Amino acid sequence: MNFTLLPDEAPSDSLRRIAAEQIEGAIAQLQRKDDLNEGIHEARKHFKRVRALLRLARDALPAETYLSENRVFRDLGRQLSPVRDSAVCIETLDLIRERCHAQPADGSFLRLRERMVVEHRAVLNEFTRDEQRQKSLFQTLQVARPRANDWILRESEFSLFRDGLRRIYRRGRAEKAAAFAQPTTERFHAWRKRVKYLWHHLHVLQPLWPAQIKVLVRDCDRLADRLGEEHDLAVLVENPAFQGMIDTDVESADQLLKFVSRERERLRRAAIPLAQRIYVESAGRFVDRIEGYWLAYRPHTYFLPQDKTRRGER
Protein backbone atom coordinates (compact mmCIF):
# COMPACT_ATOMS: atom_id res chain seq x y z
CA MET A 1 0.00 0.00 0.00
CA ASN A 2 1.72 3.15 -1.28
CA PHE A 3 0.19 6.46 -0.17
CA THR A 4 2.06 8.43 -2.81
CA LEU A 5 2.27 9.22 -6.48
CA LEU A 6 4.19 6.82 -8.70
CA PRO A 7 6.41 8.16 -11.53
CA ASP A 8 5.07 5.75 -14.15
CA GLU A 9 1.42 6.40 -13.27
CA ALA A 10 -0.85 9.24 -14.38
CA PRO A 11 -1.62 11.40 -11.31
CA SER A 12 -5.35 10.82 -11.71
CA ASP A 13 -4.75 7.06 -11.71
CA SER A 14 -2.60 7.45 -8.61
CA LEU A 15 -5.42 9.18 -6.75
CA ARG A 16 -7.91 6.48 -7.68
CA ARG A 17 -5.46 3.72 -6.76
CA ILE A 18 -4.57 5.29 -3.42
CA ALA A 19 -8.24 5.76 -2.50
CA ALA A 20 -9.12 2.16 -3.39
CA GLU A 21 -6.12 0.85 -1.44
CA GLN A 22 -7.09 2.85 1.63
CA ILE A 23 -10.60 1.42 1.50
CA GLU A 24 -9.21 -2.10 1.16
CA GLY A 25 -6.94 -1.41 4.11
CA ALA A 26 -9.86 -0.28 6.24
CA ILE A 27 -11.79 -3.44 5.41
CA ALA A 28 -8.81 -5.59 6.37
CA GLN A 29 -8.32 -3.76 9.67
CA LEU A 30 -11.96 -4.13 10.67
CA GLN A 31 -11.72 -7.88 10.05
CA ARG A 32 -8.79 -8.34 12.41
CA LYS A 33 -9.16 -11.17 14.91
CA ASP A 34 -5.98 -10.48 16.88
CA ASP A 35 -6.73 -6.91 18.05
CA LEU A 36 -9.98 -5.29 16.91
CA ASN A 37 -9.27 -2.29 19.09
CA GLU A 38 -6.10 -1.55 17.10
CA GLY A 39 -7.93 -2.43 13.89
CA ILE A 40 -10.53 0.24 14.59
CA HIS A 41 -7.76 2.77 15.20
CA GLU A 42 -6.08 1.90 11.90
CA ALA A 43 -9.38 1.87 9.98
CA ARG A 44 -10.10 5.43 11.11
CA LYS A 45 -6.68 6.44 9.77
CA HIS A 46 -7.62 4.97 6.39
CA PHE A 47 -10.88 6.93 6.40
CA LYS A 48 -8.99 10.14 7.16
CA ARG A 49 -6.58 9.51 4.30
CA VAL A 50 -9.47 9.08 1.87
CA ARG A 51 -10.97 12.36 3.08
CA ALA A 52 -7.58 14.03 2.64
CA LEU A 53 -7.43 12.78 -0.96
CA LEU A 54 -10.90 14.17 -1.59
CA ARG A 55 -9.81 17.57 -0.32
CA LEU A 56 -6.66 17.50 -2.40
CA ALA A 57 -8.62 16.80 -5.60
CA ARG A 58 -11.76 18.65 -4.57
CA ASP A 59 -11.79 21.13 -7.45
CA ALA A 60 -11.18 18.39 -10.03
CA LEU A 61 -14.07 16.26 -8.78
CA PRO A 62 -17.74 16.89 -9.51
CA ALA A 63 -19.21 18.72 -6.52
CA GLU A 64 -21.73 15.96 -5.85
CA THR A 65 -18.95 13.35 -5.81
CA TYR A 66 -16.86 15.30 -3.33
CA LEU A 67 -19.78 16.01 -1.01
CA SER A 68 -21.22 12.50 -1.03
CA GLU A 69 -17.88 10.69 -0.65
CA ASN A 70 -16.69 13.02 2.08
CA ARG A 71 -19.96 12.46 3.95
CA VAL A 72 -19.64 8.68 3.64
CA PHE A 73 -16.16 8.53 5.14
CA ARG A 74 -16.92 11.16 7.76
CA ASP A 75 -19.88 9.12 8.96
CA LEU A 76 -17.90 5.87 8.91
CA GLY A 77 -15.28 7.48 11.11
CA ARG A 78 -17.91 8.72 13.51
CA GLN A 79 -19.25 5.20 13.95
CA LEU A 80 -15.84 4.13 15.23
CA SER A 81 -15.07 7.27 17.25
CA PRO A 82 -16.50 6.13 20.63
CA VAL A 83 -14.22 3.08 20.70
CA ARG A 84 -11.14 5.05 19.76
CA ASP A 85 -11.90 8.03 22.01
CA SER A 86 -12.26 5.82 25.09
CA ALA A 87 -8.95 4.11 24.28
CA VAL A 88 -7.18 7.46 23.83
CA CYS A 89 -8.18 8.51 27.35
CA ILE A 90 -6.41 5.46 28.78
CA GLU A 91 -3.32 6.08 26.64
CA THR A 92 -3.23 9.73 27.68
CA LEU A 93 -3.57 8.85 31.35
CA ASP A 94 -0.66 6.40 31.03
CA LEU A 95 1.43 9.10 29.36
CA ILE A 96 0.71 11.48 32.23
CA ARG A 97 1.84 8.88 34.74
CA GLU A 98 5.13 8.48 32.88
CA ARG A 99 5.80 12.22 32.80
CA CYS A 100 4.25 13.45 36.02
CA HIS A 101 6.82 13.62 38.79
CA ALA A 102 4.28 14.70 41.41
CA GLN A 103 2.05 11.69 40.81
CA PRO A 104 -1.23 11.20 42.59
CA ALA A 105 -1.36 8.27 44.98
CA ASP A 106 -1.06 4.98 43.12
CA GLY A 107 -4.39 3.83 44.48
CA SER A 108 -6.18 6.91 43.14
CA PHE A 109 -4.51 6.64 39.77
CA LEU A 110 -5.21 2.92 39.43
CA ARG A 111 -8.86 3.35 40.40
CA LEU A 112 -9.26 6.08 37.78
CA ARG A 113 -7.55 3.97 35.13
CA GLU A 114 -9.66 0.93 35.96
CA ARG A 115 -12.85 2.96 35.57
CA MET A 116 -11.66 4.11 32.16
CA VAL A 117 -10.78 0.54 31.17
CA VAL A 118 -14.27 -0.60 32.17
CA GLU A 119 -15.79 2.21 30.07
CA HIS A 120 -13.63 1.30 27.09
CA ARG A 121 -14.49 -2.40 27.29
CA ALA A 122 -18.17 -1.57 27.44
CA VAL A 123 -17.95 0.60 24.32
CA LEU A 124 -15.88 -2.01 22.46
CA ASN A 125 -18.25 -4.81 23.46
CA GLU A 126 -21.22 -2.77 22.30
CA PHE A 127 -19.57 -2.39 18.90
CA THR A 128 -18.66 -6.08 18.56
CA ARG A 129 -22.17 -7.20 19.55
CA ASP A 130 -23.87 -4.89 17.07
CA GLU A 131 -23.72 -7.21 14.07
CA GLN A 132 -26.13 -5.09 12.06
CA ARG A 133 -23.96 -2.02 12.37
CA GLN A 134 -20.85 -3.97 11.38
CA LYS A 135 -22.64 -5.49 8.40
CA SER A 136 -23.77 -2.05 7.25
CA LEU A 137 -20.26 -0.68 7.68
CA PHE A 138 -18.71 -3.45 5.57
CA GLN A 139 -21.38 -3.08 2.89
CA THR A 140 -20.69 0.64 2.67
CA LEU A 141 -16.97 0.01 2.23
CA GLN A 142 -17.48 -2.75 -0.33
CA VAL A 143 -19.55 -0.41 -2.47
CA ALA A 144 -17.17 2.52 -1.99
CA ARG A 145 -14.11 0.63 -3.24
CA PRO A 146 -15.16 0.20 -6.90
CA ARG A 147 -16.69 3.67 -6.81
CA ALA A 148 -13.26 5.15 -6.04
CA ASN A 149 -11.82 3.43 -9.10
CA ASP A 150 -14.38 5.31 -11.20
CA TRP A 151 -13.88 8.81 -9.79
CA ILE A 152 -14.17 11.31 -12.64
CA LEU A 153 -11.38 13.88 -12.46
CA ARG A 154 -11.84 16.91 -14.66
CA GLU A 155 -8.23 18.06 -14.48
CA SER A 156 -4.87 16.42 -15.15
CA GLU A 157 -1.30 16.70 -13.89
CA PHE A 158 -0.64 19.42 -11.29
CA SER A 159 -4.02 21.04 -11.98
CA LEU A 160 -5.51 18.12 -10.07
CA PHE A 161 -3.90 19.35 -6.87
CA ARG A 162 -3.32 23.09 -7.20
CA ASP A 163 -6.55 24.50 -5.76
CA GLY A 164 -6.98 21.84 -3.08
CA LEU A 165 -3.41 22.29 -1.87
CA ARG A 166 -3.78 26.07 -1.83
CA ARG A 167 -7.03 25.85 0.13
CA ILE A 168 -5.65 23.57 2.85
CA TYR A 169 -2.46 25.58 3.25
CA ARG A 170 -4.38 28.87 3.38
CA ARG A 171 -6.86 27.51 5.92
CA GLY A 172 -3.99 26.16 8.01
CA ARG A 173 -2.44 29.63 8.14
CA ALA A 174 -5.80 31.13 9.11
CA GLU A 175 -6.49 28.50 11.79
CA LYS A 176 -2.99 29.01 13.20
CA ALA A 177 -3.56 32.77 13.51
CA ALA A 178 -6.97 32.20 15.11
CA ALA A 179 -5.54 29.69 17.62
CA PHE A 180 -2.72 32.01 18.67
CA ALA A 181 -5.08 34.99 18.91
CA GLN A 182 -7.67 33.11 20.96
CA PRO A 183 -6.09 29.91 22.38
CA THR A 184 -9.15 27.78 23.01
CA THR A 185 -9.41 23.99 22.81
CA GLU A 186 -11.75 24.27 19.81
CA ARG A 187 -9.45 26.57 17.83
CA PHE A 188 -6.36 24.44 18.38
CA HIS A 189 -8.29 21.32 17.43
CA ALA A 190 -9.57 22.96 14.24
CA TRP A 191 -6.02 23.97 13.36
CA ARG A 192 -4.73 20.43 13.93
CA LYS A 193 -7.19 19.08 11.35
CA ARG A 194 -5.70 21.38 8.69
CA VAL A 195 -2.17 20.37 9.66
CA LYS A 196 -3.09 16.69 9.31
CA TYR A 197 -4.63 17.25 5.89
CA LEU A 198 -1.51 19.10 4.74
CA TRP A 199 0.62 16.27 6.11
CA HIS A 200 -1.36 13.74 4.07
CA HIS A 201 -1.15 15.89 0.95
CA LEU A 202 2.60 16.22 1.25
CA HIS A 203 2.91 12.45 1.64
CA VAL A 204 1.11 12.04 -1.70
CA LEU A 205 3.34 14.66 -3.36
CA GLN A 206 6.65 13.65 -1.76
CA PRO A 207 8.07 12.05 -4.95
CA LEU A 208 8.16 15.51 -6.55
CA TRP A 209 11.33 16.29 -4.57
CA PRO A 210 11.76 13.76 -1.75
CA ALA A 211 14.59 15.53 0.09
CA GLN A 212 12.79 18.88 0.23
CA ILE A 213 9.26 17.69 0.93
CA LYS A 214 10.47 15.16 3.52
CA VAL A 215 11.42 18.06 5.80
CA LEU A 216 7.91 19.52 5.53
CA VAL A 217 6.34 16.11 6.11
CA ARG A 218 8.42 15.67 9.25
CA ASP A 219 7.53 19.11 10.62
CA CYS A 220 3.82 18.61 9.89
CA ASP A 221 3.96 15.24 11.63
CA ARG A 222 5.59 16.73 14.72
CA LEU A 223 3.21 19.67 14.81
CA ALA A 224 0.17 17.42 14.44
CA ASP A 225 1.49 15.20 17.24
CA ARG A 226 1.91 18.14 19.60
CA LEU A 227 -1.51 19.55 18.80
CA GLY A 228 -3.07 16.09 19.02
CA GLU A 229 -1.51 15.40 22.40
CA GLU A 230 -2.70 18.79 23.64
CA HIS A 231 -6.24 17.98 22.54
CA ASP A 232 -6.12 14.51 24.11
CA LEU A 233 -5.28 16.12 27.44
CA ALA A 234 -8.25 18.46 27.08
CA VAL A 235 -10.55 15.52 26.30
CA LEU A 236 -9.19 13.51 29.24
CA VAL A 237 -10.34 16.00 31.86
CA GLU A 238 -13.86 15.91 30.38
CA ASN A 239 -14.02 12.12 30.67
CA PRO A 240 -16.82 10.99 33.06
CA ALA A 241 -14.41 8.87 35.09
CA PHE A 242 -12.07 11.82 35.53
CA GLN A 243 -14.96 14.07 36.49
CA GLY A 244 -15.98 11.43 39.04
CA MET A 245 -12.48 11.55 40.51
CA ILE A 246 -12.86 15.30 41.03
CA ASP A 247 -15.88 14.59 43.22
CA THR A 248 -14.33 11.73 45.21
CA ASP A 249 -10.59 12.49 45.45
CA VAL A 250 -10.10 16.24 45.27
CA GLU A 251 -6.38 16.26 46.11
CA SER A 252 -5.35 13.70 43.48
CA ALA A 253 -7.62 15.27 40.86
CA ASP A 254 -6.12 18.67 41.57
CA GLN A 255 -2.59 17.31 41.04
CA LEU A 256 -3.58 15.81 37.71
CA LEU A 257 -5.39 18.96 36.60
CA LYS A 258 -2.35 21.12 37.37
CA PHE A 259 -0.09 18.78 35.43
CA VAL A 260 -2.50 18.68 32.49
CA SER A 261 -2.60 22.49 32.41
CA ARG A 262 1.22 22.75 32.41
CA GLU A 263 1.55 20.09 29.71
CA ARG A 264 -1.00 21.76 27.48
CA GLU A 265 0.84 25.06 27.76
CA ARG A 266 4.17 23.36 27.02
CA LEU A 267 2.78 21.62 23.94
CA ARG A 268 1.27 24.84 22.60
CA ARG A 269 4.60 26.62 23.02
CA ALA A 270 6.40 23.72 21.31
CA ALA A 271 4.07 24.14 18.34
CA ILE A 272 5.21 27.69 17.62
CA PRO A 273 8.59 27.10 15.88
CA LEU A 274 7.17 24.22 13.85
CA ALA A 275 4.20 26.33 12.77
CA GLN A 276 6.46 29.22 11.78
CA ARG A 277 8.55 26.94 9.55
CA ILE A 278 5.56 25.26 7.90
CA TYR A 279 3.49 28.40 7.33
CA VAL A 280 6.35 30.77 6.51
CA GLU A 281 5.01 31.76 3.08
CA SER A 282 1.70 32.75 1.55
CA ALA A 283 -0.55 30.04 0.13
CA GLY A 284 0.11 31.30 -3.39
CA ARG A 285 3.87 31.15 -3.02
CA PHE A 286 3.70 27.75 -1.37
CA VAL A 287 1.70 26.27 -4.25
CA ASP A 288 3.94 27.94 -6.83
CA ARG A 289 6.95 26.35 -5.17
CA ILE A 290 5.37 22.89 -5.18
CA GLU A 291 4.39 23.36 -8.82
CA GLY A 292 8.03 24.16 -9.54
CA TYR A 293 8.95 20.79 -8.05
CA TRP A 294 6.32 19.25 -10.33
CA LEU A 295 8.09 20.62 -13.39
CA ALA A 296 11.23 18.77 -12.31
CA TYR A 297 9.23 15.63 -11.55
CA ARG A 298 7.22 15.43 -14.81
CA PRO A 299 8.77 18.00 -17.19
CA HIS A 300 7.37 16.37 -20.32
CA THR A 301 3.79 17.04 -19.25
CA TYR A 302 4.18 20.77 -19.80
CA PHE A 303 4.63 20.23 -23.53
CA LEU A 304 1.94 17.65 -24.20
CA PRO A 305 -0.74 18.71 -26.70
CA GLN A 306 -4.06 19.27 -24.93
CA ASP A 307 -5.73 16.41 -26.80
CA LYS A 308 -3.25 13.95 -25.28
CA THR A 309 -4.76 14.24 -21.83
CA ARG A 310 -6.97 11.34 -20.79
CA ARG A 311 -10.64 11.57 -21.52
CA GLY A 312 -12.61 12.91 -18.57
CA GLU A 313 -9.53 14.51 -16.93
CA ARG A 314 -9.51 17.93 -18.50
CATH of the domain at 210: 1.40.20.10
Is residue 313 situated within a structural domain? no
Cα(254)–Cα(22) distance, rounded to whole angstroms?
43
pTM for the model stands at 0.91
Is residue 57 situated within a structural domain? yes
Helix segments in 130-249, DSSP class H: 131-149, 162-181, 185-205, 210-236, 240-248
Domain with 225, as residue range(s), is: 11-299
Q: Report how far Cα 191 is from the mean position of its chain's Cα atoms.
A: 12
Is residue 308 situated within a structural domain? no
Is residue 86 situated within a structural domain? yes
Is residue 151 situated within a structural domain? yes
For 250-282, give the DSSP string.
Answer: HHHHHHHHHHHHHHHHHHHHHHHHHHHHHT-S-
Report pLDDT for 197. 98
Report pLDDT for 312. 40
Is residue 310 situated within a structural domain? no
- Average pLDDT per block of 10 residues along the chain, 314 residues long: 90 96 97 92 97 97 98 97 94 87 67 93 94 94 96 93 97 97 96 98 97 96 98 93 83 87 96 97 98 89 53 38
Residues 6+ apart with CB under 8 A from 30: 36, 39, 40, 43, 134, 137, 138, 141
Is residue 2 situated within a structural domain? no
Is residue 181 situated within a structural domain? yes
Handedness of CA 77, 51, 189, 2 (dihedral sign): positive
- How many domains is the chain built from? 1
The residue count for the chain: 314
Report pLDDT for 306. 52
